[in-house]
Amino acid sequence: MTPSSRPSRAVIIDQLKRASKKGDRVALALAVEHMKLWAYSPRYWQKYLQLLTHPLARLVDLTVIKQGEKIARQKGWVQGRTKPARSSAKPRTPEPRRPRPRPAKGGSPVQPSLFPDIAP
């Protein structure tokens, strides 16, 4: 059986599920290529945005393609980010860098948090 030249939403989602469950890199590559085809061509924008309702497809879009928000903004479905008004006050100076935590002696090293602003 030869694959269809026009992938459907179900085929792309099946490929993403297969890639997530079995670690199938070929299925992931095929799904990403099909998603890129949909994301980069205006003809398939509607289908692509419907595809993004699935969490796996959204994850691929956020990490690999990064196109869904751009398309939605171009179509007027999402408001673009508004720039804050510039104040006439003095320009902000960058915050000083925080020192890195040192590993405890004799113990395992402490890994710095990826989200330092969020309390555990």
**pLDDT averaged per 10 residues in sequence order, the chain, 120 residues:** 71 92 89 88 84 89 77 67 62 76 63 68
Tell me, what's the pLDDT at 18? 92
Please name the residue ranges forming H helices in the chain: 9-22, 25-40, 45-51, 55-60, 68-75
Distance, in Å, from the CA atom of 35 to the CA atom of 11, rounded to the nearest integer, reads: 11
The number of domains in the chain is 1
Establish if 110 belongs to a structural domain.
Answer: no
Establish if 34 belongs to a structural domain.
Answer: yes
Establish if 33 belongs to a structural domain.
Answer: yes
Establish if 117 belongs to a structural domain.
Answer: no
pTM, whole model, 2 decimals?
A: 0.52
Tell me, what's the pLDDT at 100? 75
For residue 20, the enclosing domain spans 9-75
**CA torsion angle for 53, 58, 62, 63 (degrees, to 10)?**
-170
